[in-house]
Structure 1
Amino acid sequence: MSQSEVIEKIKAQKKLPNLKFSIKEKTEAFTKNLFYTLFDEETPVEENIKKLGKDFEELADLVCWKPDTPCRDIWQDYLDMLPGILKKLNKDAEAISKNDPAANSIEEVILSYPGFFAIAIYRFSHEFYKFGLPLVPRLMTECAHGLTGTDINPGAQIGTPFFIDHATGVVIGETAVIEDNVKIYQGVTLGALYVDRNLKNIKRHPTIEKNVTIYANATILGGETTIGANSIIGGNVWLTASVPKNSMVSHTPQINIKNTSK
């Protein structure tokens, strides 16, 4: 094939006129700027809020390509929510600092804990998700996913405070409900029993009630699955059914130890 033929074939396959990678790049920049605005002492709040507003207008124009979707109009409502979001995140950071013996300060938690960063970006994106803003909420949480290995869908409902320890490999699905004061460890999955497009708009991820601790690599599946308040779910547990409150659930593997010195 000639070069011109190759070019024409590529053009013929590019059938998505609204697929613009600038949306992803602008969302990543917006997310970082929002995080700095709320937490960084040296970032001027007033100046950055104005910049965030302009950046959001550009994003809204890119993602709201369908007619009669005035995405720009939600910015002021979102702005009004930022103090409340920051209040929740300060409670999250405080809970992590109080509960993790490895944490030396709240500053350390905010600057270096991947679990806190993932929670922060989730809380930023969740309000946009509730507004019905296309693409941006998911792209925001993917920023955190790529940096931390923690995949929280912006549609999940998560109480305060929330603590993810170590964070890597955590997956929290779109319709999951997590109540206040829940702690989870690395590798935990709150997922669906199976994937089917017909399940859209149906609750397919579990509910975790207050004061539950879920240890590493536990898998909890299903929209009707509820983990009762004050329960402890041990590491590597696989659950597809509900657990009453005040439960202790454990998985006991068979471990064989052989002395190889003889």
Structure 2
Amino acid sequence: MKLSPQFLGYLFGEPDYWAPGDYAEYNADGVLSRIESFSQQPRWHIHTKDMPFSTYMAFEPKTDSTTYIVVGDSDHLGMREMKRRLLDNLRSTEYQDPFMFHAMIVHETFLDAKTVITPVRHQLYDQLDRVDNYSKKSAHERGKGDLEELTIGLHVVSQEIDSMTAGTDMTSMIVRRLIKGHTRYRESLGSVALVNSSTKTADALDYLAESVDAQRRWLESYKARKDIAMNLVSANFVLEKISH
């Protein structure tokens, strides 16, 4: 089996922070002969030791064959869901596009981000409420270590948001590379019977790209609110120093 050497490290399940791969080969007549696409999904649960999902896809138009290699924790709920989706795809004639399963993997792993982003959002709101309550207190009502606790809490939230933003940026990069590879595939289509399935995949990838961008905008808004709260805490710290 022909396999891109850049994917070999992914087979061992180690976290990798390189860019996703997207390669194409053309024959002497300028006809597409092979497409390769591979990526490693970001780990949203950074405080666990879960094996990251890595996906390799190769498509050869001449034989109309698609090869997939998926590396990940076999006990992970996402892996079981992907296996079920793959079986459904094999039974359906609507999903003849070689990129569809890769798009589904990105979609499923991106959905996993909700389980960590939602708690971080709640944690941020809790910290904002604490800062607001602190600002309303008189000088004699404020505890000696309140500002330190608020600062630590906001720093923890900031680190979590930075991690989520990095994961979102990586997902965006993966989707952009998939769109690039899929565009090559669509340009090489020689059968009108494949137009429907390729259009469905193109629409799915576009929707996924826009969803990832939307998630990043929300994370940017969380970061901005955190920064405002941190500035308020810093201002209170300076005022307390002056008053003493």
Q: Under a length normalisation based on structure 2, what TM-score does the superposition of the two structures give?
A: 0.30
Q: Which has the greater radius of gyration?
A: 2
TM-score relative to the length of structure 1: 0.29
Higher relative CO (Cα under 8 Å, sequence separation at least 6) belongs to: 2
